[in-house]
Chain A
Amino acid sequence: MSVIAVLILFSILVAGSFLAAFIWAVKSGQYDDKYTPSVRMLFDDNEHPALKEKNKNNTNS
């Protein structure tokens, strides 16, 4: 039966990581504007060349 206890803890860990992802999403402003990104994704390549280099590794900021 102890295997269930481990599974329970594991499941909570997984669920917790989703919660963390949700909180991060709210914090990083993804819920502030729910329309523009849907249009923006249709445009190609709209980043300043200087910023592009910088953001290459950190595309989410």
Chain B
Amino acid sequence: MGLSGEVSPEFHFFLQRPAKTTSYFFNYTTEIMILSESVSQEINMSCYHCGERCPTEVIRLDEKLFCCEGCKIVYEILSEKNLCNYYDLNAAPGKTQKILPLKNKYEYLDDEELTNKLLDFKDGKISAVTFFIPQMHCSSCIWLLENLFKVNSAILQSRVNFIEKKLSVSFQTSAISLRQVVELLAFIGYEPQISFEDTEKKSQNLVSKKLYYKVGIAGFGFGNIMLLSFPEYLSIDVSSAELRAIFSYVIFLLSLPIFFYCGSEYFVSAIKGLRKKFVNLDVPISIGIITLFTKSVFEIFAHGNPGFMDSLAGLIFFLLLGKIFQNKTYDVLNFERNYKSFFPISVTVKKSGEEKAIPLSQLKIGDRIVVRNGELIPADSILFSGDGNIDYSFVTGESSPVEKVVGEMIYAGGRQSGSSIELEVLKEVSQSYLTQLWNNFTTKSSEDFSFSGVANAFSKYFTFAVLVIAAVSYFYWMNIDHNVAVNAFITVLIVACPCALALSTPFTLGNTLRIFGKNDFYVKNIRALENLGSIDTIVWDKTGTLTESGESEITFVDGTLSSKEMIWVKSLVRNSNHPLSKKIYASINEAAALKIENYLELPGKGIQGEVSGQKLKIGSEHLFEQFAAEAKTPGELETVPPPLSSEVYVSINDEVRGKFKIQNKYRHDAATIITRLQSKYDSYLLSGDNESEQLYLENLFKKKENVLFRQAPLDKLNFITRLQAKKKRVLMLGDGLNDAGALAQSNVGISVSEDILNFTPASDAILNAKMLKKIPGFLKFTTISIKIIYASFTISILYNLVGFYFAVQGLLSPLFSAVLMPLSSISVVVFATVTTTYFARRKGLL
């Protein structure tokens, strides 16, 4: 604010016209000084702890400003414990403490059974636990979290894994309880996210560690075998046969772990595929590896030369490297979330007048639970007391809250807004409507072939062709020279080993995955990426995907209303079921229960009535005569997005007092994105919401039948299934639980989220909502990547053809193979990474 006000017009001039001469520059330095001073003042007005702008009543301590009591308390604690280094590492590293956690929120952590499930380790004296803390964002966070022992000496050690946003804490059980540890963290602004899912431990990481071991061993073997093969490469005549034998035997020993340990997974996968009558790319690879190995073993023991062992080691080494590259995982993100991670871990139960927090797993039918404002209803239940105003937007997509009265059934998954309510649990958590729905959804079959679909589809023909070529060359040579025939047969199999082919997909798609990751678009794996390249239909969810999620911003402009008048307004809008009325109702904090007389609803215009003898009118401009002249014709209204900003006027005793401005709605570029994508893909919209925006959306999606409203989660799922029955390959973009089924059913499900660390339903990819505008670019780039894969295939086939040319003549020497194989692999890898990077740059993704 102060910025534009204090800057002199000269400075604006300076900004517009960069100084071409030094004199300009000197003339305006004074201005710059003034400006920077005003800027620094601006910064000083922000909270020392969290950096947020301080409100008008600032809290001061030690000449520092704080935006709220909470931030000040955290500062006090840290300064008392001599931990102010926290503020030196980064400016204002904290998180605002305006909303303090409820006092007995963590009461459930006193439950021993539950804590045992959360703890990683426990031996009576010391316990260890790992928390997920998404708030950590800078080195100050790491520093403070690793210095927890200075805050409370009962904490022995705390270690941060910044990438995974995890904190491992070990503490003395006698001096501090798990609950106190959590409360301590919450208190200093790092409230751990503990969800129902955490109580079920699962081990990961083992797979990737194994891969590292394998690469290490293969690399070790590869290097040493190459070294020992040098005499062969340089055709040095090793005069001593003894020495030659030693070389060969050492090579043999080195090759054993490579063949049996590092290469084993290819055999396993090949056999798995063949059992399912499916020739995957691991089949020709396994044929190649086994032929290489047996041929070399034979050479070593029969002739004392190392044969093709160097090629074998190099091959496996490169293949494993490709595997590491494609296994780019996003540790922080969870693509497999189920309802358990959405649900809270505890629930407040009322027993004989006392409120107690218990773990969700202990919730029983018939329990009386208390659900406060903003809390989630964990199980299907009946409203016992209080005004139910349930926001189901995350479950159904319906944007306006549903009112419930005592005795009505409330399904799990809704959020109570308003005062707290009491409910009686009807069904167990795992039996609720929502969780049932979730369990019904078919999960995509997760075949774990090591290679992508494209490569596997190709490998059937490839393997067949290789076997034919090998057989033909064998029979051709058989009558001429038996030795050459055997040699040709074997070398064809060796040279056919599709190493380069196998590397092209992991490197192309792995690189694409990384490029997307840099753009906040996180794809689960390369298989999902391939599917993304083949889609022809896009289905959009409306609420939260095309529109901004969360509550709309409601402000009263062009005038003011006293709190008394606000109560009148609130009392009046309470009678209306119009979504806008409900939003205004929810936005006014004052208590309201005034009686309305002469209430009248004028459809399409607004509402009017009398409160405390005052005549109130609330509605669109059509309601007021003075606006009638300016009112737009209905036709005009249909082409402009109506909801970008709704205005609701308020008049008291026929005097217009101002208007409510209700903003949120469509994301910035939603319309442009949809129009752009329509030329290439069939686009549909499935909304759980009502038809209030029908006309606009139908205009946007061109076809009337492509826009569907009031879609329940199951309707969405069925819609996708119907499209797929028509052989469509469907991309679904959604955000909430209501889309979970559709996301799982579609060929590719992208869940759009404002905060990717927050809950997202199970999906193939997670997209930061801000990057929605890049969706056309992502899709385009995926198709380019697929084309790059085909190009790399061509290159690797060319190498194979060169190899075949020599192999069928029985001329393939070990040395030639040792050069050809790594050369082909490396050139394909370089081609794949360089081209993807190049196109990503051109498409503005890097």
Contacts and interface: CB of A to CB of B under 8 A. Distances in A.
Nearest to B146: A46
A18 B242 CA distance: 28
Contacts of B139: 39, 42
A15 B223 contact: yes
Interface string A11-52: 110011011001100110001111110011011001110110
A51 B250 CA distance: 46
B228 A43 contact: no
B216 interface: yes
Contact of A12 (B216, B243, B250): B250
Interface stretch (B159-167, B598-606, B821-829): B159-167
Given A5-B246, A8-B246, A51-B156, A19 B163 contact: no
B209 interface: yes
Given A22-B216, A26-B216, A31-B212, A36 B243 contact: no
Contact of B163 (A26, A33, A43): A33
11 contacts: A8-B228, A8-B246, A11-B227, A15-B223, A22-B216, A26-B216, A33-B162, A36-B160, A39-B139, A43-B143, A47-B157
Contact of A35 (B162, B216, B228): B162
A36 B142 contact: yes
A8 B159 CA distance: 43
B142 A40 contact: yes
B149 A48 contact: yes
Nearest to B162: A36
Contacts of B160: 36, 40
A46 B147 contact: yes
A22 to B, nearest CB: 5
A32 to B, nearest CB: 7
Contacts of A19: 216-217, 220
A40 B146 CA distance: 9
B838 interface: no
B627 interface: no
Contact of A26 (B212, B224, B242): B212
A60 to B, nearest CB: 14
Contact of A50 (B156, B216, B254): B156
A28 to B, nearest CB: 11
A26 B161 contact: no
B163 A36 contact: yes
B21 interface: no
A23 B243 contact: no
Nearest to B160: A36
Interface string B749-767: 0000000000000000000
Contacts of B163: 33-36
Contacts of A22: 216
B373 interface: no
B161 A16 contact: no
- Which 8 residue pairs across A and B have the least CB separation, nearest first? A48-B149, A36-B162, A19-B220, A33-B161, A26-B212, A22-B216, A39-B139, A35-B162
Interface residues of B, number: 35
B633 interface: no
Interface string B240-254: 101100110010001
A4 B220 CA distance: 20
Interface residues of A, number: 31
Given A42-B139, A43-B142, 10 more contacts: A4-B243, A5-B243, A5-B246, A8-B247, A15-B220, A26-B209, A27-B209, A39-B142, A40-B142, A51-B157
Contacts of B589: none
Contacts of B146: 40, 43, 46
Contact of A15 (B147, B161, B224, B242): B224
Contacts of B153: 48
B205 interface: yes
Nearest to A54: B156
Contacts of B212: 26, 31
B216 A8 contact: no
Interface in B175-231: 205, 209, 212-213, 216-217, 220, 223-224, 227-228
Contacts of A43: 142-143, 146-147
B155 interface: yes
B300 to A, nearest CB: 16
A34 B751 CA distance: 28
A55 to B, nearest CB: 9
A58 to B, nearest CB: 14
A48 B156 contact: yes
B228 A16 contact: no
A15 B224 CA distance: 8
Nearest to B210: A26
Contacts of A39: 139, 142-143, 162
A4 B247 CA distance: 10
A23 B162 contact: no
A37 to B, nearest CB: 9
Contacts of A48: 149, 153, 155-157
Contact of A32 (B205, B213, B223, B239): B205
Contacts of B142: 36, 39-40, 43
Contacts of B149: 48
A36 B217 CA distance: 27
Contacts of B155: 48
A57 to B, nearest CB: 17
A55 B209 CA distance: 26
Given A1-B240, A23-B216, A26-B213, A36 B161 contact: yes
Nearest to A48: B149
Contacts of A35: 162-163
Contacts of B228: 8
B243 A46 contact: no
Contacts of A9: 250
A36 B139 CA distance: 9
Contacts of A4: 243
B164 A33 contact: yes
Nearest to A21: B216
Interface in B134-176: 139, 142-143, 146-147, 149, 153, 155-157, 159-164
B202 to A, nearest CB: 16
Interface in B238-282: 239-240, 242-243, 246-247, 250, 254
B246 A23 contact: no
A26 B246 CA distance: 32
A18 to B, nearest CB: 8
Contacts of B164: 33
A35 B157 CA distance: 19
Contacts of B213: 23, 26
A35 B162 CA distance: 7
A42 to B, nearest CB: 8
Contacts of A1: 239-240, 242-243
Contacts of A46: 143, 146-147
Contacts of A36: 142, 159-163
A39 B224 CA distance: 36
Nearest to A34: B163
Nearest to A16: B220
Contacts of B159: 36
Interface in B112-154: 139, 142-143, 146-147, 149, 153
B87 to A, nearest CB: 14
Contacts of A18: 220
Nearest to B155: A48
Contacts of A23: 213, 216
Contacts of B217: 19
Nearest to B164: A33
Nearest to A12: B224
B514 to A, nearest CB: 15
A9 to B, nearest CB: 8
